[in-house]
Chains A and B, each alone.
Chain A
Amino acid sequence: MKTYTYTEKKDTRSGFGAGLAELGRTNPNVVALCADLIGSLKMEKFIEENPERFFQIGIAEANMMGIAAGLTIGGKIPFTGTFANFSTGRVYDQIRQSIAYSDKNVKICASHAGLTLGEDGATHQILEDIGLMKMLPGMTVINTCDYNQTKAATIAIAAHHGPVYLRFGRPVVPIFTPEDQKFEIGKAVMLTEGTDVTIVATGHLVWEALEASKVLFEKGISAEVINIHTIKPLDEEAILKSVAKTGCVVTAEEHNYLGGLGESVARVLALNNPTPQEFVATNDTFGESGTPAQLMNKYGLNSAAIVEKSLSVIKRK
């Protein structure tokens, strides 16, 4: 079994900051906007190097989305930065009408997604954002797993025409994907090949899926772990190819099971190859305060939960 190790942990939001800084040096059309969370989004480097291409909007997220839409009309590529909650639910109508329906080339970059925001609690821990964004026609939805992938995705979305929702987070997580990776929107990444169960994971849960596969291996179970960084458009072919081999699937995400990756995968399977599936996701709930590890444990979003669901789903084959 292919195994992964890491030498360093970092927050995925820093990957965004590094990617944005690189875009500042390489693409003169890239502009950035922020609703008073520069430090939280790690946007300092871009701002330091390109002060004329940064626009502080203040705590007025609806206005930020509208201004971003307007900036595209002259050919700019705006990257908006705020927390995932304020990037989506707060401004849904602005994104729906002024960005998605109007096919505006805006990159909505959202940090502090999910429970791993931690101590600030439920108001800031959005677990519905993937659903909100994937329902919008024409919206690309990406949830990256580590620093390197987030940096690569940030750079890649500038070259893609159309609205993109890029979701990342606050906690430090292992860096296990290559620094020089080529990020292909809509293309799943096969991490470990296996024959007994497919684990399709996104975001912070990808590392947990790899940890789970090690535990499963020790139990004599061969798990195939797929990193689905792009939830929309979904790499249906990769999923179908894998379940044709394994016959069951566990999806894992830091999001409500309603509207998340799991439902997208279930649809693909229902249409093409009905397959037993288990969901590692939050169970239609709001969050609460705690450390990321405490919360991921309480809400069943870790390697132990993935192992448990894998054992269950295999029995349903």
Chain B
Amino acid sequence: MTNKELKLKSVLLRKNILKYIYKAKAGHTGGSLSCLDILNVLYNRVLNVDPNDFKNLNRDRYIQSKGHCVEALFVTLADRGFFPESDLETLCQYQSHYIGHPTKKVNGVEQNTGALGHGLPICVGEAIAAKLDNKTHRVFTLLGDGELPEGSNWEAFLAASHYKLDNLYAILDYNKQQITGNNSEVMNTDSVRQKLESFGWAVKEVDGHNLEALEEALNSGPLEVGKPSFIIAHTIKGKGVSYMEGNIKWHHGVPTPEQYELALSELNQVESSL
């Protein structure tokens, strides 16, 4: 896949996020648009996972700690061939496996998540297990900035560094907003870089919507041998739809028919300009 095709895929997947949230009349719109580029790069350039052999013990692991942005994960997995995209017609409906948070009932989902602050400790366990078995696969998690105040993350930051887990990569979807407002007002998470460095992690900051920059950060091995890697991906909540960008009401917002059409036309314009 060329870089241009990867960029086109980001647009297509954003349209799919909106399509299925619009149909389900539910979903985490702003956060899913925020982390979509990260997922696109992970599943199409970084992770060694096979849709037809997902349980392979040598696969790379990805656990989405910010489980509420499941729409971004589902559309990416469907596109990658883990299940037919048409399955998402049932998103969030009664008796559907495609519920509002990641579940292992869906092919390609590594772990049930939803309550925040769970993903990183599990990844620490997976990374320890990989080292114990001399396996070379890598372990990735995607953290939301709103979940950073969960104490379990900081327990895991300590443990990952203590056990020198350089096979572990935590990516922060740093859009600086959460359900109530800006991180800085809800609970200040400024100086994340310094905090993580002082916890013994190697840290890199990237533009979380620059696919090449994300790929380089995630694919060039640990940022530092002997340390876990922390990628601060600076993102924009609602990225790709002008009226959603940076507007907190789209955390959990569902577009009206007019808003949906407007969003699609904006994304179509981006698509044709590529």
Contact status A76-B129, CB under 8 Å? yes
Q: Give chain B residues whose Cβ lies under 8 Å from the Cβ of A63.
A: 121, 124, 152, 155-156, 158-159
Q: Does B258 sit within 8 A of A, measured CB to CB?
A: no
Give chain A nearest CB distance to B112 CB in angstroms: 4
The chain A residue with its CB closest to the CB of B125 is A70
Q: Does B126 sit within 8 A of A, measured CB to CB?
A: yes
Q: Give chain A residues whose Cβ lies under 8 Å from the Cβ of B122.
A: 66-67, 69-70, 73, 98
Q: Does B274 sit within 8 A of A, measured CB to CB?
A: no
Residues of A229-257 whose CB lies within 8 A of B? none
Interface segment, A16-24, A52-60, A155-163, A266-274? Answer: A52-60
The chain B residue with its CB closest to the CB of A102 is B112
Complex Cα–Cα for A101 and B122 (A): 14
Q: Does B100 sit within 8 A of A, measured CB to CB?
A: no
Q: Give chain A residues whose Cβ lies under 8 Å from the Cβ of B121.
A: 62-63, 65-67, 69-70, 94, 98
Residues of B128-182 whose CB lies within 8 A of A? 128-130, 132-133, 135, 151-152, 155-156, 158-159, 162-163
Given contacts A58-B159, A66-B125, A69-B125, contact A101 B118 (CB under 8 A): no
Q: Does B1 sit within 8 A of A, measured CB to CB?
A: no
Residues of A38-88 whose CB lies within 8 A of B? 52-53, 55, 57-58, 60, 62-63, 65-76, 78
Q: Give chain B residues whose Cβ lies under 8 Å from the Cβ of A98.
A: 111-112, 118, 121-122
Contact status B112-A97, CB under 8 Å? yes
Contact status B152-A94, CB under 8 Å? yes
Given contacts A60-B159, A62-B152, contact A70 B132 (CB under 8 A): no
Show 5 A/B contacts (Cβ-Cβ < 8 Å), sorted by A. Answer: A31-B132, A67-B159, A69-B125, A93-B118, A97-B115
Q: Give chain B residues whose Cβ lies under 8 Å from the Cβ of A66.
A: 118, 120-122, 124-125, 152, 156
Q: List the 10 shortest-distance A-B pairs measured between CB atoms, nearest first.
A: A70-B125, A66-B121, A63-B155, A67-B125, A60-B155, A74-B129, A70-B122, A70-B126, A71-B125, A62-B152
| Of the residues A31, A70, A93, A96, contact of B123 by C-beta under 8 Å | A70
Contact status A53-B132, CB under 8 Å? yes
The chain B residue with its CB closest to the CB of A93 is B115
Give chain B nearest CB distance to A86 CB in angstroms: 13
Contact status B124-A75, CB under 8 Å? no
The chain A residue with its CB closest to the CB of B67 is A97
Given contacts A31-B132, A74-B133, A97-B115, contact A57 B126 (CB under 8 A): no
Q: Chain B: residues with CB nearer than 8 A to chain A?
A: 57, 61, 104, 110-115, 117-118, 120-130, 132-133, 135, 151-152, 155-156, 158-159, 162-163
Q: Which of B115, B117, B128 has the most CB of A within 10 A?
A: B128
Q: Chain A: residues with CB nearer than 8 A to chain B?
A: 31, 52-53, 55, 57-58, 60, 62-63, 65-76, 78, 93-94, 96-98, 101-102
Q: Give chain A residues whose Cβ lies under 8 Å from the Cβ of B126.
A: 70-71, 73-74
Complex Cα–Cα for A215 and B113 (A): 53
Complex Cα–Cα for A27 and B158 (A): 29
Q: Give chain A residues whose Cβ lies under 8 Å from the Cβ of B128.
A: 55, 67, 70-71
Complex Cα–Cα for A74 and B126 (A): 7
Contact status B112-A71, CB under 8 Å? no
The chain B residue with its CB closest to the CB of A61 is B155
Complex Cα–Cα for A65 and B110 (A): 17
Contact status B111-A102, CB under 8 Å? yes
Complex Cα–Cα for A69 and B65 (A): 14
Complex Cα–Cα for A7 and B225 (A): 57
Q: Give chain B residues whose Cβ lies under 8 Å from the Cβ of A58.
A: 155, 158-159, 162
Complex Cα–Cα for A302 and B44 (A): 64
Give chain B nearest CB distance to A99 CB in angstroms: 10
Contact status A62-B155, CB under 8 Å? yes
Contact status B113-A97, CB under 8 Å? yes
Give chain B nearest CB distance to A161 CB in angstroms: 15
Complex Cα–Cα for A96 and B117 (A): 13
Complex Cα–Cα for A72 and B57 (A): 12
Apart from A57-B155, A66-B121, A74-B133, 20 more pairs, CB < 8 Å = A55-B163, A58-B155, A62-B117, A63-B155, A66-B120, A66-B125, A67-B122, A67-B128, A68-B125, A69-B111, A69-B121, A70-B125, A71-B125, A73-B111, A74-B57, A75-B57, A94-B121, A97-B115, A97-B118, A102-B111
Complex Cα–Cα for A136 and B113 (A): 17
Complex Cα–Cα for A74 and B137 (A): 11
Q: Give chain B residues whose Cβ lies under 8 Å from the Cβ of A93.
A: 115, 118
Give chain B nearest CB distance to A71 CB in angstroms: 4
Complex Cα–Cα for A216 and B114 (A): 53
The chain A residue with its CB closest to the CB of B122 is A70
Given contacts A97-B113, A97-B115, contact A102 B104 (CB under 8 A): yes
Q: Give chain B residues whose Cβ lies under 8 Å from the Cβ of A69.
A: 111, 121-122, 125
Give chain A nearest CB distance to B77 CB in angstroms: 18
| Of the residues A52, A70, A78, contact of B124 by C-beta under 8 Å | A70
Q: Give chain B residues whose Cβ lies under 8 Å from the Cβ of A60.
A: 155, 158-159
| Of the residues A52, A62, A71, A96, contact of B129 by C-beta under 8 Å | A71
Q: Which of A31, A62, A67, A74 has the most CB of B within 10 A?
A: A67
The chain A residue with its CB closest to the CB of B111 is A102
Complex Cα–Cα for A246 and B65 (A): 54
